[in-house]
Amino acid sequence: MSDDSITPPVSRPGYRALVLAMLLLVYSFNFLDRQVLGILAGPIRADLHLSALQFGALGGIAFALLYATLAVPLAILADKTSRSWVITGSLVVWSGFTALCGLATGFSQLFWCRLGVGVGEAGGVAPSYAFIADSFPPRERARALAIYSLGVPLGLAAGALLGGYIAATVNWRMAFIILGVAGIVLAPIDFAIAANATAMRSRIDADRTVPARLASTLSLGGQAVGYAGGALAHTYFAASLDGALLAHLRYVVPAFFDRVMAYPELPFPLSRKLEVLAPDVFLPGVGVLPNDFIMAVQTNPRFVEALMLGANHEMGREMLWQGLPTDQRGTPLRCFWQRLDGAPDIEPIHQWNALPLGHQPGSAPMTVLLFRGRLLERYRTLTIYAYPMNAADEKGPGANEAGGGMLAARIEHPVLRGHLLADIDYVGFAIDPDLIDGWFFVVEEHMTEPRFGFDERVGNGQNSSNWQDVDWVDIDTPPGAHIALAKLRLAQPAAGWGDPHAATIALAALQRPFRGYWRGQALRMPK
């Protein structure tokens, strides 16, 4: 089997671009060598004393005779052997005969050289089209073929420019020689690309990789089974296991029952798409949630595993359709949630146990806080976390800890976060939903972001000499109005102010970072 018999479009983008550039350059030389004869018609006819009929034969029948008759046989040869080698060999042939045209001393010699040019160029175009089809996926082939077709105008323009310049500077013979030698110099570069393409195809050739993979999973009499010479082989029992396998079948032990071919890892979280395409599927009842609302819900591992199973199945089919070497058993998609810890949401599917959906390894329901309103949109840097509740905690998280504050080691940070519709945010914790009664959930402003202003009036306000207790009513400032210094003096803490300055006013309006907390029991969804 040839190296081109199995050529799925799996080469890397950089390699594909290099291949296309080389094919474009070869195609340009194809038309350059055709064009140069017409450009140099005057000096050639004058030097070789050719009639109009003879020169017409050189440009027409001498080139087209073998070019037309050998195109199909050379294309068949490329299919049966190697397209890249046929293209490279054709480049050497037509470039060599182009150079020989510069040594011709009469009509007959030039006629045979033009025949040789036609032979070489007959093998350049058809294999190049097949090579492009092999190297590029369907969605990129039209663009690649359009770029390849630029070789026609580039070659014609280069032939007219270079041929005329060299002929005017030196003579017409040197023009043929220089252009022909340039094509021959290009050939080793093309051979190097062909070698890389051959190595790449051999690595993904199913006739080689499948038996080798099978051999790597077997052992016979405690010895590994190899693959060589197109057959399974074992060191001691038989040179070839193809005929001896049945006699020793009971000694054959699979080393790995469930090996999966390599597959790409795509870390994109599918929840981001589902939030946009089907928010009611992502969160049933999302449209009836009240405004300015917070509630604790739980994730649905059964739904997540079912969706990820279907998504990976379709991704395997798509990779196979695109020509990627796959057994469709890999798990390229393992992320459903927008995780903050970078952990996957499912284990590789081929490692799943014989359990119902929702009970696979690493799959457990998590507690999720839903926020509907403008709180998180207005304060995007709010810190949200959970803190375990002690039996005697009545004054908030950490009130009974040593020192009267929360311990950093006991803080539970969220593991996922996302946004739904226009005003719904959610934050998830690796906390069992059945145990949320034992947790505080805390929302607080960042300590390093100062905020200035006063409180909104609650009830009759507070009678206090502390600026933190002053509200907007105390300083007689309606919504949207500016603070006046005279009105600030109305507040009780301003008693005894002398001549206040900007720093004094900033200190009065400085607000402490806000912290709010909820007990888990209060956030449970009503039954």
Q: Which has more confidence, 322 or 190?
A: 322
Indicate if the pLDDT at residue 131 is higher than 60: yes
Burial classification of residue 417, based on how many CB atoms lie within 10 Å of its CB (0-12 exposed, 13-18 middle, 19 or more buried): middle
Indicate if the pLDDT at residue 411 is higher than 50: yes
Q: Which residues pair with 241 in a beta bridge?
A: none
Indicate if the pLDDT at residue 480 is higher than 70: yes
Note the pLDDT of residue 5.
Answer: 35
Q: Which has more confidence, 102 or 318?
A: 318
Note the pLDDT of residue 314.
Answer: 92
Indicate if the pLDDT at residue 212 is higher than 90: no
Reported confidence tier of residue 56, pLDDT bands at 50, 70, 90: confident
CB of 446 closer than 8 Å to CB of 381? yes
Name the residue among 341, 287, 349, 294 with its Cα closest to residue 316: 349
Reported confidence tier of residue 163, pLDDT bands at 50, 70, 90: low
Specify the amino acid at residue 455. D
Average pLDDT over residues 114-139: 75
Note the pLDDT of residue 384.
Answer: 93
Q: Which has more confidence, 88 or 12?
A: 88
Alpha carbon distance 248, 147 (integer Å): 57
Note the pLDDT of residue 132.
Answer: 79
Average pLDDT over residues 297-324: 90
Q: Which has more confidence, 14 or 127?
A: 127
Note the pLDDT of residue 3.
Answer: 36
Alpha carbon distance 34, 271 (integer Å): 58
Note the pLDDT of residue 2.
Answer: 35
Name the residue among 460, 467, 382, 387 with its Cα closest to residue 425: 382
Indicate if the pLDDT at residue 67 is higher than 50: yes
Note the pLDDT of residue 109.
Answer: 80
Alpha carbon distance 191, 45 (integer Å): 37
CB of 319 closer than 8 Å to CB of 333? no
Note the pLDDT of residue 7.
Answer: 37
Name the residue among 418, 436, 438, 437 with its Cα closest to residue 428: 418
Indicate if the pLDDT at residue 335 is higher than 90: yes
Paired tokens of 233: 């082989």
Alpha carbon distance 116, 98 (integer Å): 8
Q: 322-336 as b/e, with b when 16 or more CB fall inside 10 Å? A: ebbbbebbbbbbbbb
Question: Other C-beta atoms within 10 Å of 509: how many?
Answer: 17
Highest mean pLDDT out of 15-24, 197-206, 517-526: 517-526
Encode pLDDT of 461-475 as tens digits.
Answer: 787 788 888 888 888
Paired tokens of 376: 């998180």
Q: Which residues pair with 424 in a beta bridge?
A: 372, 420
Note the pLDDT of residue 394.
Answer: 64
Task: Show the domains of the chain with their CATH numbers.
Answer: 13-203 (1.20.1250.20), 206-254 (no CATH), 270-444 (no CATH), 451-515 (no CATH)
Lowest mean pLDDT among 191-200, 373-382, 395-404: 191-200
Backbone angles phi, psi at 440, to 5 degrees: -95, 145
Name the residue among 257, 267, 277, 28 with its Cα closest to residue 162: 28
How much of the chain exceeds pLDDT 90, in percent?
A: 18
Indicate if the pLDDT at residue 258 is higher than 80: no
Indicate if the pLDDT at residue 524 is higher than 60: yes
Indicate if the pLDDT at residue 301 is higher than 90: yes
Note the pLDDT of residue 334.
Answer: 94
Q: How far is CA 95 from the centre of its chain?
A: 41
Name the residue among 174, 154, 149 with its Cα closest to residue 164: 174
Question: Other C-beta atoms within 10 Å of 30: how many?
Answer: 24
Indicate if the pLDDT at residue 176 is higher than 50: yes
Helix ranges, 327-451 (H)? 375-378
Residues 6+ apart with CB under 8 A from 76: none
Reported confidence tier of residue 200, pLDDT bands at 50, 70, 90: low
Q: Which has more confidence, 360 or 179?
A: 360
Q: At what angle do helices 151-169 and 13-39 cross, to 10 degrees?
A: 50
